[in-house]
Chains A and B, each alone.
Chain A
Amino acid sequence: MKPFEYHEPKSTAEAVGLLSKLGPSVKILAGGTDLIIQMEQRTCMPRHVVNVMRIPELQGVSGRSGTITIGAATSLREVETSPLLRDKAPVLCEAVSTIGSIQIRNLATVGGNLCNAAPSADAAPPLLILEARVRTVGPQGERDLPLKEFFKGPRQTALQADELLAAIEIPEPPCGFRGIYYKQSPRYAMDIAIVGVAVGVLRSNGKCDEARISLGAVAPIPLRVAEAEAILNGNSPEERLVNTAAEISRDAAKPISDVRASADYRRAMVETLVRRGLNTLLSN
């Protein structure tokens, strides 16, 4: 690892001040589970490292007036085991529990997972179907944007160089909302997704009021598939519609072939997993 200067701000204001002052060769450090490896491999060689783990505002899960707020530097293990999230958004806990190991999730943060912006980030699809928003802080103040506008490309986000991600905000899902996350990977544990599929439905009186479908690891950024959702919204869940939604999702995927899986396999798995998710959530 190349030498660097280390900084440990105690507030977001101080952190933003450091980011503006230190200029382009500065990197934010959270849990370090992506960054330390990149620095060790010298694919990232910052001159300054700003550790945001001692900033109290960035820590913890809390709920108030219909919104659940997760501080960006909250560990994935805390997200996974949070009683509030287990109650209101279990699909997020389920998805996060597939990331690395307990040791990794004790270090890794939810903000780091999103800011690292790997197409396969497992926190992204569940947060997308939960309609999460992100709050960023920079020298110009705060910005609030939907998570789906946060991802710009592999390893690219909407953050400016002097901005940090402060929090993820989830509108409390209406009762009757259920979600499910499938992660397809060659190994059951400690492996990244070759396909990640999150499906959510809101049902009443036997109808599918609203469907939400999100895909990870099959495009440059995690996707919502609005066209597939539209097929189901407001309709009785018939097999034909479920199959069509699964096919549209498959066609929306733009995967690459790599050592882990071929593009064809990934597309086929998107169709299978979307269909399985919808059938599971819409039956009984």
Chain B
Amino acid sequence: MKTYPIELTVNGEKYSLEVEGRERLLEVVRSRLNITGPKEGCSTGDCGACTMVVNGKPVTSCLVLAVAVNGAEVTTVEGIGNAAKLDPVQKAFVEHGGIQCGICTPGFVVMTKAFLEENPHPTEEEIRFGLSGNLCRCTGYAKIVESVMAVAASDA
């Protein structure tokens, strides 16, 4: 099958690779680059577990062809913080119980980070609207909203 050369900068690191037209950004980042923070929940844009920031904008990477974002700057949860050095958003999720099983968390953290950059002091309603593309089956959302409120408040 025909392949196409692409370059991606993921979490600050440059990668050159050959992809088929049909390969989606999510599978390329997970399976080829072994960056497995982003999760595949639904593959239909509904759950937000695959959220990455691509050229400054949070998107559902399961609906993006890798070849179509040749040259892009990509950020996953790994680019935000790690166990040794948690980002304030990650810390707030841990402290306020915004994380339980954790499968939705990489998507929530990436989305929360992007959302707060645009709107650093949101109301609860704005948080619920901004994060409505991320599903969580464990927390019931209240603690996620609390976590996001806590980050926003600490940064006041």
Q: Which residues of A contact B (CB under 8 A)?
A: 1-6, 8, 29, 31-33, 36-37, 39-40, 49, 51, 53, 77, 100-104, 106-107, 188-190
Contacts and interface: CB of A to CB of B under 8 A. Distances in A.
A100 B42 CA distance: 14
Interface stretch (B10-18, B62-70, B79-87): B62-70
26 contacts: A2-B22, A3-B2, A3-B21, A6-B2, A29-B68, A32-B65, A33-B45, A36-B63, A36-B65, A37-B45, A37-B63, A49-B65, A51-B65, A51-B68, A77-B57, A100-B45, A101-B134, A102-B58, A102-B111, A102-B114, A103-B51, A104-B63, A106-B58, A107-B63, A189-B132, A190-B46
Contact of B65 (A29, A103, A189): A29
Interface in B8-33: 20-22, 24
B68 A53 contact: yes
Contacts of A188: 132
Given A37-B63, A107-B59, A101 B21 contact: no
Interface of B: 1-2, 4, 20-22, 24, 43-46, 48, 51, 57-60, 62-65, 67-68, 111, 114-115, 128-130, 132-134
B75 to A, nearest CB: 13
B133 A101 contact: yes
Contact of B57 (A1, A33, A106): A106
Contacts of A102: 58, 111, 114-115, 130, 133
A3 B128 CA distance: 38
A106 B24 CA distance: 17
Contacts of B44: 37, 40
A32 B64 contact: yes
Given A33-B45, A189-B132, A107 B60 contact: yes
Given A3-B20, A37-B44, A189-B128, 17 more contacts: A2-B22, A4-B21, A5-B2, A32-B64, A32-B68, A33-B45, A101-B60, A101-B133, A101-B134, A102-B114, A102-B130, A103-B45, A103-B48, A103-B133, A104-B45, A107-B64, A189-B133
Nearest to A104: B45
B58 to A, nearest CB: 5
Nearest to B132: A189
B132 A101 contact: yes
Given A2-B22, A5-B2, A103 B59 contact: yes
A6 to B, nearest CB: 4
A103 B22 contact: no
A102 B127 CA distance: 12
Nearest to B51: A103
Given A100-B45, A101-B132, A106-B58, A33 B21 contact: no
Contacts of B22: 1-4, 39
Nearest to B68: A51
Contacts of A8: 68
B120 to A, nearest CB: 16
B60 to A, nearest CB: 5
A258 B57 CA distance: 35
